[in-house]
Amino acid sequence: MRFTKLSYCQYLLSSQINYTITNLAEHLESISHDAINYYLKREKLTPRLLWDNVKDLVEPDDNGYIIFDDSVLDKRYSEEIEIVRRQYSGNEHGILKGIGVVNCVYVNPTLQRFWVIDYRILILMSMAKLR
């Protein structure tokens, strides 16, 4: 069995708590952690790809609205992830090492359904780098 974009997307949709490569590999008998890691290193999973896959599924409504939600993915134990920065986490009520993500969700209140339509990873720079 080959690991594909569809495999990864199905995992992300079905997992509610743990999105790690290790957790995914534990649930796939014929796919190793290394195979998933290699796939993610070489594959471009862009916000545009998300929109291209969801735009035909969104059901617009006159009362529909968009929610922007920012969160920090906790990476306090990471030492080598390049985009990890010290930043404030409302969930932790303090500063921690993490990756900032903003999600954009379209909500159809009539159907009580929603679709993630965009996301952005925030690359925060220190003030010293901005000068």
Domain edges within the chain: 1-45, 47-131
pLDDT by residue (tens digit) across 34-86? 988 888 888 888 889 889 888 999 999 999 999 999 888 888 888 888 888 88
Which amino acid, 16?
Q
Residues 6+ apart with CB under 8 A from 69: 102, 103, 105
pLDDT by residue (tens digit) across 106-130? 999 999 999 889 988 887 665 445 4
pTM of the prediction?
0.67
Geometric angle at alpha carbon 80, from 39 and 36, rounded to 5°:
15
Q: Tell me: pLDDT of 7 over 60.
A: yes
